[in-house]
Amino acid sequence: MSAGTAPRTFISDLRPSRVATIEATVVQLEPAREITQRDGQKKRVRNGRLKDDTGEISLVLWGDEVELAAQGDRVRIVGGWVKDYQGRPQISLGRTGRLEKTGPSA
């Protein structure tokens, strides 16, 4: 592992209220939609699902992030924020995370 590379976490090991780095395949991606935030600002959001060999997790992309991935892409989320949403874990890029494409689905 090179310096500066965060250790990878498997989806089955993700826990809410933690930052994690995962590698997974985008197995589902809904169309982007626009929502109105509490402050009245409009923001685009897109939901999807990621899968690795250990399980699946919901993904949510906000704003410009909605264009970062396509269904079938292999991706690495570095510093993603895991939270509990309606009783299930969900990962987003949060304030400091980033999404990198690692290739098309195998």
Whether 11 contacts 24, CB under 8 Å: yes
Q: What is the pLDDT of residue 45?
A: 97
Which domains are seen in the chain, by residue range? 11-104 (2.40.50.140)
Distance of CA 104 to the CA centre of its chain: 16
Q: Which residue's structure tokens are 């310096």?
A: 3
* Tokens linked to 15: 């826990």
Tens digits of residue pLDDT in 50-100 = 999 999 999 999 999 999 999 999 999 999 999 999 999 999 999 999 999
Tens digits of residue pLDDT in 18-34 = 999 999 999 999 999 99
* Tokens linked to 54: 């250990």
pTM: 0.88
Computed over its alpha carbons, how large is the radius of gyration of the chain?
13
| Confidence class for position 1, pLDDT limits 50, 70, 90 | very low
